[in-house]
Structure 1
């Protein structure tokens, strides 16, 4: 199956290369130095989880500088470029209860006082097709770098991206190293091989379609589809419909890592998860309702510690906050409201509030034996974010996020467990050149 998918993608890329429909990006290159860009993001991050039922709390507080230096492409038929991405961080305070993928820890679980990570990459571009090799951040639904912690998750490998046909984006890549946000080792996740491919198509101003797939050796095969349609209404309002779904088939070598496993270690495990959301927008108001459901004989699992390598952000679904509502056979519904305070002459300030309720969850004991099929979970989420709009601090932002999460008794050990979580993020971007 994988060979057929790769062959299909190769044919698509070849067709794109010989049927260019619009101007070449490479022909507009100004040069290696002339198009260079550099920036530093100074981030202060605090993440605290107040755990219930006798479980120890976790709390992390640290500061980092995330550097991105990117050259322009050289001129000519084939352009070449290079860059560096990385981060240098220090802990703030003792961090005696660090956790949550924020700060690397020593063998005795004590937090690092300071640490640095990163790498380099090179790029080649012909027409509108670019190949990148080296350390990268990935924003692919089936292979996604975690950017929701102090520092990002890095991948090492090659990614080819083609935009030869107007409104059609094609990708294909292979990655052999995965470094989680709290790891010093560039291959801390012990990724042997992950192959990824996909396509995104803008049919018109209203409809967008996407498909992505990945094959992670000895772990899983995963596919993702998305369809997004926006319908304009009277009085400048709109309705947006979004359908997204994953299908995952785990290799038997990965059975030991499935925390929602039902059955024996040599069984075959698969999951499908689908969601449909509708968002109504009118001026500063956004209201979203969503329904999400799991199918198969296990829940949707991703980013399982150091053992899978699919990225700790590979959950492009609407009902995803502190909990992702991905339990075995789980159904969940969400109501979300977002308000833009620009309508009250406070541009840059927004507030989001959401409530998600999940039910019909199959729970297991520590041996993996199912003990219940009607467990529940719920989360009340609130976030306030302010971004400076002008002046010397333009684009600096402060984000305050809180989640109140509760689950039924039999689901406490299967997943997160009752938690009150706070996240405070202060981001100050500085453009170097």
Structure 2
């Protein structure tokens, strides 16, 4: 992820101001700083269950992520600087197996040998409000940076988060470019026009202005409400609502309700018109969790969100599918188990099954799809190999309108705290 003139200027200015302050003012800047390096070894295999076209995507790569986060200088306004340096390189691939999203693609359709970059973020803090400018990783109702491949997706812009009022979190942001998870360069954002979304764009599908404003408020100890407004200029506008309630039932037992609704409309250059309703209910007992989900799309199109690997705020967005096509209705059953409850901390298991139907395919027959996922993960808790993580992710996707997929991902990661 290449640094930009704006990010470099702001970051260097903040760093320069920190270095000119008296040593006392720099105390918290140094004391609260932290750094870590993460190594990710990632094997990805998508097997397409038809003879036509590319038979599979299969690649193996190694990535490194160096994260630096400073504290804040002392005073009414505190300043700091963060940095994210990334590097990924190919271990195995070929032109007929590329396209997994692990590596930067080359002009021939294959994958480049390596890629990476450096992102800088200047930050300032007043009381419980923090402003960040530069490279940003975001996760809220309006936008979610994807980190499900070798290197993470990063946006360029500004983000203000305020927690000055107890129970209230305010979140404002402006973004102009995105560096996708398999890219070394920033580029304009675009509207996702996925299969059977019904979304069409007149003219060029790109925008260099995305803004969002919203937040959450803790109404009671067990009930939190959220709202966000977002706008990808010229392409879509969206109002997103969220209500989360956690009901304690008994010792070690709870019922979590997660309700979501989003209204998306066009912004001049598209036909976006979507209502998205989602609900997820999760019953937890000791290390067990059982979840049931429902998601319904209505309107003239499917769900609207930024393309190229952004994670949409949907209860049925999973490993392969988003279950957000035009008029689609989908259900999910999920089971999780945390082995810490039986004395094996660090070991977790998840499996889920989703089915969707009523997809509007125009003159073609009704679209249907289903997906099954399984995750098994273990993170070493102590000893020489503390923080070593191993995860296997498996997915099976079947439908009557696109390619069937059997997918496996094996991720071995190790995070070493530097200070």
TM-score, normalising length: structure 2: 0.86
Bigger mean CA deviation after superposition, 228-237 or 159-168: 228-237
Q: Does 1:236 align with 2:222?
A: no
Q: Does 1:351 align with 2:381?
A: no
- C-alpha change, 1:304 and 1:323, in structure 2 (3 Å) is same
- Aligned match of 1:220: 236
In structure 1, what is the Cα distance between the partners aligned to 2:168 and 2:77?
21
Deviation string for 1:117-168 (max 9, x for gaps)?
2311111111111111111111122222111111111111111111100111
- Aligned match of 2:5: none
Q: Secondary structure at the match of 2:321?
A: coil
Is the CA contact 2:176–2:188 (under 8 Å) kept in the aligned structure 1?
no
Instruction: Please tell me the root mean square deviation across aligned C-alpha atoms, in Å.
Output: 1.8
- Aligned match of 2:405: 419
Q: Does 1:399 align with 2:391?
A: yes
Deviation string for 1:375-426 (max 9, x for gaps)?
2100111111111111232222111011111002xx22xxxx2101111111
In structure 2, what is the Cα distance between the partners aligned to 1:349 and 1:274?
33
Equivalent of residue 28 in structure 2, options 25, 28, 31: 31
- Aligned match of 1:324: 322
Is the CA contact 1:290–1:319 (under 8 Å) kept in the aligned structure 2?
no
- C-alpha change, 1:98 and 1:336, in structure 2 (3 Å) is same
- Aligned match of 2:117: 117
- Aligned match of 1:3: none
- Aligned match of 2:43: 46
The ranges of structure 1 where at least 4 consecutive aligned residues each deviate by more than 6 angstroms after the TM superposition are none
Q: Does 1:277 align with 2:280?
A: yes
Q: Does 1:342 align with 2:364?
A: no
In structure 2, what is the Cα distance between the partners aligned to 1:325 and 1:52?
20
Equivalent of residue 377 in structure 2, options 365, 372, 385: 385
Count of residues paired in the alignment: 376
In structure 2, what is the Cα distance between the partners aligned to 1:203 and 1:396?
39
- Aligned match of 1:245: 261
In structure 1, what is the Cα distance between the partners aligned to 2:188 and 2:409?
25
In structure 2, what is the Cα distance between the partners aligned to 1:247 and 1:227?
15
In structure 2, what is the Cα distance between the partners aligned to 1:133 and 1:289?
39
Q: Secondary structure at the match of 2:341?
A: helix
Shift of 1:236: 3.1
Gaps of 5+ in 2: 1-24, 190-205
Q: Secondary structure at the match of 1:31?
A: helix
- C-alpha change, 1:342 and 1:292, in structure 2 (3 Å) is same
In structure 1, what is the Cα distance between the partners aligned to 2:100 and 2:225?
34
In structure 1, what is the Cα distance between the partners aligned to 2:413 and 2:187?
27
TM-score, normalising length: structure 1: 0.83
Gaps of 5+ in 1: 1-27, 256-267, 306-310, 364-369
Shift of 1:30: 4.6
Q: Secondary structure at the match of 1:324?
A: coil
Shift of 1:342: 2.0
In structure 1, what is the Cα distance between the partners aligned to 2:243 and 2:137?
24
Shift of 1:191: 4.3
- C-alpha change, 1:230 and 1:304, in structure 2 (3 Å) is same
Q: Secondary structure at the match of 1:405?
A: strand
Bigger mean CA deviation after superposition, 314-323 or 116-125: 314-323
In structure 2, what is the Cα distance between the partners aligned to 1:393 and 1:203?
42
Is the CA contact 1:360–1:373 (under 8 Å) kept in the aligned structure 2?
no
Shift of 1:224: 1.5
Q: Secondary structure at the match of 2:185?
A: coil
- Aligned match of 2:92: 93
- Aligned match of 1:265: none
Shift of 1:95: 4.0
- C-alpha change, 1:405 and 1:91, in structure 2 (3 Å) is same
Equivalent of residue 295 in structure 2, options 286, 292, 295: 292
In structure 2, what is the Cα distance between the partners aligned to 1:234 and 1:120?
46
In structure 1, what is the Cα distance between the partners aligned to 2:381 and 2:58?
31
